[in-house]
Structure 1
Amino acid sequence: MTTGNLTEAVLEFPDNRLLIELCGEYDRNLTDIEARTGVQILRRGNQLTVHGDPEAQADATEVLRSLYDRLEQGREVGQSDIDREFRMGEDQGPAGQMEMPVGEKVEIKTRKKLIEPRTDAQKVYVKSLFDNELAFGIGPAGTGKTYLAVAVGVNMLITGAVDKIILSRPAVEAGEKLGYLPGDMKDKVDPYMQPLYDALNDFVPGKQLAKMMEDKVIEIAPLAFMRGRTLSNAFVVLDEAQNATSMQMKMFLTRLGEGSRMVITGDRTQIDLPRGMPSGLADAERLLDRIPEISFNYFTSKDVVRHPLVAAIIEAYEKDAEKG
């Protein structure tokens, strides 16, 4: 239906329970979509009427249909999902990165739940983790680099593709400051490793995780502890790799053993190394990007799946950096 320059679309949803979830508590999701597009959305029974400018109305109806499809698949819909739907049409990564059709389904099965990459760049990244022995995930915080890598590691462990998971991070203050912390070495380094524990707890039940860690089937250790080891039949993740020195990065990469997979994640904008000390992540990009067996995957603020404000904050800093 058309009125002047405005159009009206009537969408019918057969499952009233899912429609309630689509609308959100106190119609919060509809209010969010209205604010983003400038349309008006009215609910009558199992129908939603979208009224507004033709282009905005088309955008809103497409988002509503996509979110309802998600609910039909048994998935939840939250603010981050609405934000993702509005960003789906935008460029998902730097030129040259492999593309994947938006509709292609990618899932990761873990002990506790099914994980679904939410953006095209995340789908490509997950596929590369399964397809390549060595892969990099580079981009800002909140883009799922580490979370998805740990999920893939758990999947490979429970399917028998690897025998163990090893998760590591540089403890950038592993010198004098760390020494002042109370407790033994584990107590001192655990605060640096906490994000890795958090990810594992999302995928493996508590008692199973404790047993796996006790049996060294899952290990979490500072990067410095990797020296001298050959990591065979393992899924190995180096997180926060921008804080590894060039020598540490070379040491880590050369630990790759038979039957292993290795993932390196990092954010080039959050280097905490002393001034003048080059980042091992930057060196690895420069030296290894022409080796076809190594996958480099890049994320931008468009791939942030935390609170939408996080994406806006990152975009503001990216624009400021471009000016400089």
Structure 2
Amino acid sequence: MPVETLTYETPQFLQKLIGNDLGSLRLIGESFGITVTSREGWVRLEGEADKIAAAREVFAQLERVRRSGGEVSAGMVRLVVESVQRETGEAPAEAIMQLKLLGSGKRSPVLAKTRGQIAYVQAMRECEVVFGIGPAGTGKTYLAMAQGLHYLKEKLVQRLVLTRPAVEAGEALGFLPGDLKEKIFPYLRPLYDALYDMLEPEEAERLIERGSIEIAPLAYMRGRTLKNAFIILDEAQNTTTEQMLMFLTRLGEGARCVVTGDPSQIDLRRHVKSGLKEAVELLQDVEGVKFVAFAPKDIVRLPVVQRIIEAYQAGRSRQGETKWHKKDEAEGKDSCPSPDVVIGS
């Protein structure tokens, strides 16, 4: 039986090549029906010649990502394996590297790691208005932030505007001490976290002080016209219908916007319809607007997060949609349909 050995310079390089997950080797072996063994800095492939060739192509694509400075994840390994299995002729690794965002001597580049994320980044580059809809951990806000910073650094826009509605997730913050800025900071903290994860603190502070980056509650957008800006509306499931319309009509010349939201985490009061739900219903066929829906397999946080979300979805499905809709109405929440096509499922 044919045997082929792939040798790399160090065991550490091989570990990073498979996303620091030995399960990736098992996935490759099972997917192509070959035996995969590894020790130190080499991988041995044993099986039919055509199956070995397919597995070798997987390792070649992952190697191109690593040698170009990209980080390989277990999800990326699955994506490449699935593509090679379909024999579509596409090279996900090449698409991933073409969509590389940011990166410097101190910071690793931000990469799309799943098929849904690749479609999302491509949509942000092609359309003026993009809706990213899906569960937590799929990179909706993080990738939008990276794309916005990319445009800002390339001088394709003059500023980056980050906003989200100030709606509590079941907790009242109105009695917190401090002035208005201190009271609204907890709502905006996730946006600051993503920003400081991508930029050095000094650079982030400098851009904020210059006004090149603005982070503010959604209420502050009223009455403004945002020109030559990249605008991100986060947690859009918690906008009212009036707020969503107000936001979408702020766009001026040279502006682009990304709207992100998770329909399963609506925190609006009883009988208040989600602006995200109405947008999904009304804007599907509007030119220049694109919806990208993420599936649980697009989650790039700890694998346990994906398993938790899948368990909740399965449990709620077993109990019946009608029961959950009634529960949402009793709690004053509004369910939100997903776009017609789910990318990444």
TM-score by length of 2: 0.77
Residue of 3, 9, 26 corresponding to 1:16? 9
Which structure 2 residues correspond to residues 126-165 of structure 1 after superposition, within 5 A? Answer: 126-165=121-160
Percent identity between matched residues is 41
Alpha-carbon distance, 1:34 to partner: 3.0
Any residues of structure 2 matched to 1:82-93 within 5 Å, and which?
82=77, 85=80
Please give the alpha-carbon distance, in whole angstroms, between the structure 1 residues aligned to 2:299 and 2:77.
12
Q: Render the CA deviation track for 1:37-59: whole Å, top value 9, x for unaligned.
A: 66764336754224589999888
Structure 2 alignment gaps of length 5 or more: 321-345
Range with bigger deviation, 175-184 or 36-45: 36-45
Task: Write the distance in 2 (CA, Å) between the matches of 1:90 and 1:277.
Answer: 46
Q: Give the TM-score taking structure 1 as reference length.
A: 0.82
Which residue does the alignment assign to 1:96? Answer: none
User: Which residue of the partner structure matches residue 307 of structure 1?
Assistant: 302
Distance of 2:208 and 2:103 partners within structure 1: 17
| Pick aligned residue for 1:114 from 88, 109, 112 | 109
CA 1:306–1:215 in structure 2 vs 1: closer, same or farther (change >3 Å)? same
Note if contact 1:182-1:188 (Cα within 8 Å) is conserved in structure 2: yes
Task: Tell whether the 8 Å contact from 2:162 to 2:216 is kept in structure 1 after alignment.
Answer: yes
Q: Are the structure 2 counterparts of residues 110 and 211 from structure 1 closer, same or farther at C-alpha, using a change threshold of 3 Å? A: same
Higher relative contact order (CA 8 A, sep 6+): 1
* Cα distance in 2 between the residues matched to 1:176 and 1:316: 26
Number of residue pairs aligned between Structure 1 and Structure 2: 307
Pairing 1:155-234 to 2, within 5 Å after superposition: 155-173=150-168, 177-234=172-229
Query: Secondary structure of 1:166's match?
Result: strand
| 2:143 partner letter | L
Identify the residue that residue 284 of structure 1 maps to in structure 2.
Answer: 279
Contact 2:20 2:73 in 1 (8 A): no
- Cα distance in structure 1, aligned partners of 2:101 and 2:27: 33
Give the conservation status (yes or no) of the 8 Å contact 1:107–1:115.
Answer: yes
Partner of 1:33: 25
Task: Tell me the CA shift for residue 113 of structure 1.
Answer: 4.3
CA RMSD of aligned residues (A): 3.3
Offset at 1:135? 1.1
Q: Against the structure 1 CA distance between its residues 301 and 165, is the aligned structure 2 distance closer, same or farther, given a 3 Å change threshold?
A: same
* Residue deviations 1:187-209 (CA, integer Å, cap 9, x gap): 11111111111111122221121
1:225 partner letter: Y
Q: Please identify, of 167-176 and 287-296, the stretch whose mean Cα deviation from structure 2 is larger.
A: 167-176
Q: Distance in 2 between matches of 1:269 and 1:174?
A: 12
Shift of 1:29: 3.0
Q: Indicate conservation of the 8 Å contact 1:83/1:308, yes or no.
A: no
Deviation at 1:296, TM superposition (A): 1.1
1:29/1:177 Cα in 2 relative to 1: closer, same or farther (>3 Å)?
closer
Is there any run of 5+ residues in structure 1 with no aligned partner, and where? Answer: 2-7, 92-99
Q: Give the Cα–Cα distance (whole angstroms) in 1 for the partners of residues 79 and 225 of structure 2.
A: 40
- One-letter amino acid matched to 2:232: V
C-alpha deviation, 1:23, in angstroms:
3.5
The Cα of 1:68 is off from its aligned counterpart by: 3.3
Which residue in the other structure is 1:271 paired with? 266
Distance in 2, Cα, partners of 1:285 & 1:250? 12
| Partner Cα distance (2:314, 2:50) in 1 | 27
